[in-house]
């Protein structure tokens, strides 16, 4: 059983640290290397959403990542104390419309769903938002 934890502040400059952390954990786990880029991307998208939408501009906050991996799955729990936001409420985008209208945002949650086997959100007392991303190891 692999367990590790990282805490970063809500600044996009830390995304590279988040990606390095997830990469290191994946390489210590049994997750196939072909899934590495995708799982890193899903976590990057989740953390980016929190940084961009979780806090008012100029308000600092922290984001905690906890990774647990075993023979069956690679699980990432992402916790923050920002604005309550349930990604399950966001519909998938119509990509043709997205391109036609020049929309640049709103693709992160779609990517998380495309990549991960489970995307679960819950609001926890004392923690606020907790997003759990799970990739099964087949």
Interacting residue ranges for other proteins, rule: CB under 8 A: 12-13, 15-16, 19, 37-38, 41, 44-45, 48, 51-52, 95-96, 98-105, 107-108, 110-111, 114-115
Query: Which residues contact residue 15 at a Cβ distance below 8 angstroms, ignoring those fewer than 6 apart?
Result: 44, 47, 48, 51
From the CB of 77, what's the least distance to other proteins, in Å? Answer: 20
From the CB of 15, what's the least distance to other proteins, in Å? Answer: 5
From the CB of 128, what's the least distance to other proteins, in Å? Answer: 21
Query: Which residues contact residue 130 at a Cβ distance below 8 angstroms, ignoring those fewer than 6 apart?
Result: 77, 78, 79, 121, 122, 123, 124
Choose between 103 and 123: whose C-beta lies nearer to other proteins.
Answer: 103
Choose between 68 and 112: whose C-beta lies nearer to other proteins.
Answer: 112
Choose between 19 and 83: whose C-beta lies nearer to other proteins.
Answer: 19
Strand order across the beta sheet in which 73-80 lies: 2-9, 62-69, 73-80, 128-136, 118-124
Q: Per residue, what are the HEC states of 61-129?
A: CEEEEEEEECCCEEEEEEEECCCCCCHHHCCCCCHHHHHHHCCCCCCHHHHHHHHCCEEEEEEECCCEE
Choose between 34 and 71: whose C-beta lies nearer to other proteins.
Answer: 34
From the CB of 34, what's the least distance to other proteins, in Å? Answer: 10
């Amino acid at each position: 059983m692999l367990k590790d934890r990282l805490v970063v502040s809500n600044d996009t400059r830390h995304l590279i640290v988040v990606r390095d952390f997830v990469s290191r954990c994946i390489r210590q786990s049994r997750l196939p290397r072909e899934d590495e880029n995708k799982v890193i991307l899903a976590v990057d998208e989740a953390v980016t959403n929190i940084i961009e939408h979780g806090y008012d501009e100029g308000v600092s906050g922290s984001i905690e990542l906890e990774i647990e991996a075993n023979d069956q799955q690679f699980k990432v729990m992402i916790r923050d104390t920002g604005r309550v936001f349930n990604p399950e409420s966001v519909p998938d985008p119509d990509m043709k419309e997205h391109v036609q209208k020049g929309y640049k945002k709103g693709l992160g949650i779609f990517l998380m769903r495309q990549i991960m086997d489970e995307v679960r959100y819950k609001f926890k007392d004392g923690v606020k938002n907790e997003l759990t991303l799970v990739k099964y190891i087949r």
